[in-house]
Structure 1
Amino acid sequence: MPPQSNGVFAESAFTRLANGETLQCSILVVGGSLAAYSATLTALKQNLDVCLVQPHRVVGGQFTSQALPASDDGDLLRQTAGTLHLAGEQFAISKAQRAFRERMRSLQPVQGRKVDNPGGSWVSPLSVTPVVAATAMNEAIAPYLDNQKLKLIVEAEPLEVLTETLPGKPRRVTGVVFGDRKRNLSFTVTAKVVIEATDLGDLLEMGEIESRVGQEARHETGEAILPEEARPQCQQSITWDVVVEYTSLEQSSPIKAPPGYGRDRWLGVHEFTERFWTKDKRTGWQKWEFLSAFGIFRYRRLARRSHHEKEVLPGDISVINWGTSTEPDRPFCCGNDYRPGRLVGVSPAEKQLHLKRARDRTFAYLYYLQTHGLPNLKLRGDLTWTADGMALEPYIREARRGIALTTIRHEDVAMTFFPHQARARCFDDTVGIGQYHYLDLHGNDEPGHVSPKGKDVIALPFTLPLSALVPIATEGLVLSSKSLGTSHITNAAYRMHPVEWAIGEASGFLATYAVWTGLTLRELATHPRHIRKLQGFLTRNGIPIFWFDDVAQDDPDFEAIQVMAAAGIIRSESQADLHFRPHATVTRAVVCTALVNLLQLEKRLPAIPSFWDVRPGGHWAYETIETLSAHRLVAGVGYGRFDPDAAMTREQLGFLLKKAAPDAYKQAFAQTPQDKQVLQRRELSRVLYSVWQHRLDAL
Structure 2
Amino acid sequence: MKRRNFISLLGVSATAGVIGVPGATLARVQEVTLQNGESQLVADVVIAGGGLGGFAAAMSSLRNKQTVILTEETDWIGGQLTQQGVPPDEHGWIETHGATQMYRDFRNAVRDYYKKNYPLTETARNNSLLNPGDGSVSKLCHEPRVALAVLNNMLAPYISSGKLVLLLEHKVIKASVKGVRVQSLVAKSLRTNRTVTLSASYFVDATEMGDLLPMTGTEYVTGTESKQQTNELHAPEVANPNNNQAFTACFAIDYVAGENHVIEKPRDYDFWSNHVPQLSPPWAGKLLELHYSDPKTLKPKKLGFDPDGRKMDEVLNLWNYRKIINKDNFAAGTYSGDVTIVNWPQNDYMLGNLIGASEREFNKHYAAAKQLSLSLLYWLQTEAPRGDGGKGFPGVRLRKDIMGTEDGLAKYPYIRESRRIKAVFTVLEEHVGAQNRALVAKPGEKNIAAPFYDSVGTGYYHIDLHPSCDKVNYVDFGSLRFQIPLGALLPVKMDNILPANKNIGTTHITNGCYRLHPVEWSVGEAVGLLVHFARQKNVTPREVREKKEFLAEFQHFVRSQGIETEWPKS
| TM score, norm. by length of structure 2 | 0.82
Q: Which moved more, 1:380-389 or 1:365-374?
A: 380-389
For 2:189 and 2:176, the matched residues in 1 are separated by: 17
The residue type equivalent to 1:254 in the other structure is V
Tell me whether 1:160 sits opposite 2:169 in the alignment: no
Q: What does the per-residue CA deviation read over 1:83-124, in whole Å, with 9 as the maximum and x for residues that have no partner?
A: xxxxxx222211111111011112224325334211110122
**Percent identity of paired positions between Structure 1 and Structure 2:** 30
Among 237, 245, 263, the residue aligned to 2:271: 263
Q: Structure 1 residues 189 and 219, CA, compared in 2 at 3 Å: closer, same or farther?
A: farther
Which residue in 1 is equivalent to 2:399?
380
Q: Residue 262 of structure 1: SS of its match in structure 2?
A: helix
The residue number in structure 2 matching 1:217 is 226
1:446 aligns with 2:470: yes
Partner of 2:349: 338
Instruction: Say which SS state the counterpart of residue 337 (structure 2) adopts.
Output: coil
SS in 1 for 2:463: coil
Mapped contact 1:267–1:360 kept (Cα < 8 A): no
> Is 2:452 the partner of 1:427?
yes
Q: Deviations over 1:54-73 (max 9, x none)?
A: 112221101111011x2111
The residue that corresponds to 1:395 in the other structure is: 414
- Aligned partners of 1:485 and 1:403: how far apart in 2? 6
2:424 aligned to 405, 420, 423, which one? 405
Aligned counterparts of 1:163 and 1:93: Cα–Cα separation in 2: 34
Q: Distance in 2 between matches of 1:154 and 1:286?
A: 42
Within the candidate set 177, 189, 195, 2:198 is matched to 189
Amino acid paired to 1:397: R
Matched residue, 1:654: none
Aligned to 1:134: 148
Aligned residues of 1:267 and 1:364 also touching (Cα < 8 A) = no
**Is the alpha carbon distance of 1:159 and 1:94 closer, same or farther for their aligned partners in structure 2, counting shifts above 3 Å?**
same
Q: Deviations over 1:274-310 (max 9, x none)?
A: 57999xxxxxx986432223511111011121149xx
Contact 1:274 1:296 in 2 (8 A): no
Distance 2:187 2:197 in 1: 6
Displacement of 1:433: 0.4
Asked if the contact 2:74/2:412 (under 8 Å) is kept, the reply is: no
Q: Which residue of 2 aligns with 1:104?
A: 110
Q: 1:369 aligns with which of 358, 362, 380?
A: 380
Whole-angstrom CA distance in 1 between matches of 2:256 and 2:378: 16
Residue 60 (structure 2) aligned to one of 42, 58, 64: 42
Determine which structure has more spread, i.e. the larger CA radius of gyration: 1
Q: Name the CA distance, whole Å, in 2 between partners of 1:298 and 1:359.
A: 22
Matches for 1:197-596 after TM superposition, within 5 Å: 197-250=206-259, 253-263=261-271, 270-273=286-289, 288-291=304-307, 292-293=310-311, 294-307=316-329, 314-323=336-345, 335-372=346-383, 373-419=392-438, 421-436=446-461, 438-447=462-471, 449=472, 457-548=477-568, 578-579=569-570
In 1, are the aligned partners of 2:488 and 2:506 still within 8 Å (CA)?
A: yes
- Highest RCO, 1 vs 2 (Cα 8 Å, sep ≥ 6): 2
Q: State the distance in 2 between where 1:511 and 1:218 align.
A: 35
Distance in 1 between residues matched to 2:453 and 2:104, nearest whole Å: 25
In 2, the alpha carbon distance for the partners of 1:227 and 1:365 equals 32
Residue 43 (structure 2) aligned to one of 25, 31, 39: 25
What secondary structure is seen at the aligned counterpart in 1 of 2:93? helix
Instruction: Give 3-state SS (helix, strand or coil) of 1:537's partner.
Output: helix
Looking at structure 1, the residues matched to 245 and 524 of structure 2 have their Cα atoms a distance apart, in angstroms, of: 21
Q: 1:430–1:465: 8 Å Cα contact kept in structure 2?
A: yes
Displacement of 1:524: 1.4
Query: How much has 1:239 moved relative to structure 2?
Result: 0.6
Give CA-to-partner distance per residue, 1:161-216, whole Å, 9 cap, x none.
22112xxxxx1112211111111111110111101100000001222320001102
Q: CA 1:241–1:286 in 2, change beyond 3 Å: closer, same or farther?
A: closer
Note if 1:76 corresponds to 2:93. Answer: yes
SS of 1:444 mapped into structure 2:
coil
Q: Contact 1:244–1:389 (CA<8 Å) still a contact in 2?
A: no
TM-aligned CA deviation for residue 379 of structure 1: 2.2
Q: How many residues align?
A: 498
Change (3 A) 1:286 1:519: closer
- Measured in 1, the distance between the counterparts of 2:202 and 2:460 equals 28
Matches within 5 A, 1:602-613: none
**CA offsets 1:214-255 (integer angstroms, 9 cap, x no match):** 1023444343543453201211100110011222444x5421
CA distance 1:305–1:264, change in 2 (3 Å): closer
Residue type of the partner of 1:320?
V
Contact 1:432/1:543 (CA < 8 Å) preserved in 2?
yes
The 1-side partners of 2:355 and 2:149 are apart by 31
> Which stretches in structure 2 are left out of the alignment for 5+ residues?
1-9, 14-28, 277-284, 295-300, 384-391, 439-443
* Structure 2: distance between partners of 1:439 and 1:141: 32
Task: Please report the TM-score for the alignment, with normalisation by the length of structure 1.
Answer: 0.67
Does residue 1:173 correspond to 2:182, yes or no?
yes
Structure 1, unpaired ranges of 5+: 1-10, 78-88, 166-170, 279-284, 324-334, 549-577, 580-699
Report what 1:150 is aligned to.
164
Contact 1:237 1:397 in 2 (8 A): yes
Change (3 A) 1:489 1:275: closer
Q: 1:286 to 1:348 in 2, by over 3 A?
A: closer
Deviation of 1:450 (Å):
8.5
Distance change in 2, residues 1:451/1:358 (3 Å) = closer
Give yes or no for the alignment of 1:94 onto 2:70: no
Task: Label 1:265 to 1:405 Cα distance change in 2 as closer, same or farther (>3 A).
Answer: farther
C-alpha distance in 2 between matches for 1:360 and 1:498: 30
* Shift in Å, 1:320: 0.5
Cα distance, 1:137–1:529 mapped onto 2, change above 3 Å: same
Distance 1:49 1:445 in 2: 40
Q: Which amino acid aligns with 2:318?
A: I
Residue 584 of structure 1 corresponds to none
The alignment yields a C-alpha RMSD, in angstroms, of: 2.7
In 1, the alpha carbon distance for the partners of 2:458 and 2:39 equals 40
Q: Secondary structure at the match of 1:270?
A: coil
Q: Is the 8 A contact 1:379 1:388 kept in 2?
A: no
Aligned residue for 2:185, secondary structure, equals: strand
CA distance in 2, matches of 1:505, 1:485: 16
Counterpart of 1:120 (choices 131, 134, 155) is 134
Does the C-alpha gap of structure 1 residues 143 and 261 become closer, same or farther in structure 2, counting only changes over 3 Å? Answer: same
SS in 2 for 1:93: coil
Distance apart, 1:458 and its partner CA? 0.9
- How far apart, in 1, do the equivalents of 2:286 and 2:474 lie? 24
CA contact (8 A) 1:475 1:522 kept: yes
Q: Corresponding residue for 1:560?
A: none
Partners of 2:507 and 2:437 lie apart in 1 by 19
SS in 2 for 1:263: helix
Q: Which moved more, 1:395-404 or 1:102-111?
A: 102-111
Distance 1:341 1:546, change over 3 A: same
Q: What secondary structure sits across from 1:352 in the alignment?
A: helix
In 2, the alpha carbon distance for the partners of 1:26 and 1:450 equals 44
Does the C-alpha gap of structure 1 residues 529 and 491 become closer, same or farther in structure 2, counting only changes over 3 Å?
same
In structure 2, relative to structure 1, the CA distance for the partners of 1:395 and 1:224 (3 Å cut) is same
